[in-house]
Amino acid sequence: MFRHQPLILLLSTALLMGCLQRPPVPPAKYKPPAESTVNEPTMAEMCSPSAGAEYGLLKRVVVVGFGLSDPAQANDLNEIEQRYPSQLTKLLDDEGRFVLTERGHTILVPAALDLMGNYSRTAAEQARQVAEEQGAQFVISGRFLDLSSTYYDNLIDTARKWPVRQLVVEIEVFDGYSGSLITRHLYRDRVKGRIDMKQITPFDGRFNESEYGQAVAHMLKLQVRDIVNDLACMPMQARILKLDGNTVYIDAGANVLLRPNDELKIFRKRIAAHDLHDKMVAEEIPYGTLTIKRLFPNSSIGTLKLKRGRAEDLRPGDIVRAW
């Protein structure tokens, strides 16, 4: 009997330690910040395709890369400057309201003085150039303002730290023709749980399952909602490519869901000046209507009906709009 006492004592000690040991804490689940509830209809609802055929025309949008205020904060977020806007592009495409182009390696940077004392191009000028090169009506850009991590002391288990990481992102939407800033949104979140993304590719399975990945997904959802609302009630716009008497060629066709006999408004648009906030002030002169006669995948041909002026006054680069 006494021969088994050490074994019994060892088993008893193990059981006692098991009872005293604190059970493992389950991983924290991401909880999105509370949002205010608004019962009024959104712009996306008021200007949905069901409100009129003109709202069903698609708008061409180019999404550029996102800048980093502090690149060191994103050392574990591989190529987040391109991967994040790429994911935003996919989600916007799912909305069925846009013709999207992705240009992740182009990042709009604020104007700054060079060594010669001259200012570089403004973000508005950069947006206008990108839109012209891509044939886009709108340009969406963004910037990661804060991706920093902090590890707080754990009062229960001093050997462990409570990790918290910031997620602060700014989104800007530009008018592609003038370069004017249409809107700017700021999104903030503070994420607890798994925040270290080393050896994890953004938007892969492990990233999406992490608390930080879930926070990113939630923020993208909010950004898509806001961008759709920002642009829902703005008319589809295209540029005149060529004029031949009263025959007008434009750079939009079946790709934006135009149909034969659709009528568009024609404007001469002149950049008049810059205001104090570096926004281009454009003057629009209504000229008449364009009735679509022939469609191609990315262009169309229509007949011009003037209300003022002469057809010779119009130039390639002038615009047509849904209203």
pLDDT in tens, 262-271: 999 999 876 6
Instruction: Identify the DSSP state of 27.
Output: P
- Please list, in sequence order, all residues whose beta carbon lies within 8 angstroms of the beta carbon of residue 292, skipping any fewer than 6 positions away: 258, 259, 260, 261, 262, 263, 264, 300, 301, 302
Cα Rg of the chain (Å, integer): 28
| pTM: predicted TM-score of the whole model, two decimal places | 0.83
Helix, strand, coil % over all residues of the chain, rounded to 5: 30, 35, 35
Give the 3-state secondary structure of residue 12: helix
d(CA 25, CA 27): 6
Strands 237-244 and 280-295: unpaired
What per-residue string of b and e applies to 217-247 under the rule 16 or more CB within 10 Å gives b? bbbbebbbebbbbbbbebbbbbbbeebeeee
Nearest alpha carbon to residue 238 among 189, 197, 296: 296
How far from each other are the two terminal CA atoms of the chain, in whole angstroms?
Answer: 98
pLDDT at 121: 84
CA dihedral of 280, 285, 289, 294, whole degrees rounded to 10: -40
Q: What is the pLDDT along the chain (323 residues), one digit of tens a residue?
A: 545 555 555 555 555 554 444 444 445 478 888 775 556 778 999 998 888 888 999 999 999 999 999 999 999 999 999 999 999 999 999 999 999 999 999 999 987 656 666 667 889 999 999 999 999 999 999 999 999 999 876 666 555 677 899 999 999 999 999 899 999 999 999 999 889 999 999 999 999 999 999 999 999 999 999 999 999 999 999 999 999 999 999 999 999 999 999 999 999 876 666 555 555 566 788 989 999 999 999 999 999 998 877 888 899 999 999 99
pLDDT in tens, 95-149: 999 999 999 999 999 876 566 666 678 899 999 999 999 999 999 999 999 999 9
pLDDT at 4: 54
- Please list, in sequence order, all residues whose beta carbon lies within 8 angstroms of the beta carbon of residue 169, skipping any fewer than 6 positions away: 66, 84, 142, 143, 144, 145, 186, 187, 219, 223
How distant, in Å, are the alpha carbons of 65, 120, 214 from that of 279?
Answer: 22, 16, 36
pLDDT at 20: 44
How distant, in Å, are the alpha carbons of 98, 169, 230 from that of 185?
Answer: 20, 8, 10
Instruction: Identify the DSSP state of 154.
Output: -
Residue type, 296: F
Token pair 């997620």 is found at 167
Give the residue ranges of DSSP H helices in the chain.
Answer: 5-20, 43-46, 80-94, 123-134, 205-209, 211-232
Which domains does the chain show, CATH number per domain? 43-232 (3.40.50.10610), 237-321 (2.40.10.410)
Give the 3-state secondary structure of residue 45: helix
The contacts found for 203-208 with CB under 8 angstroms, 24 or more apart, are: 203/83, 203/87
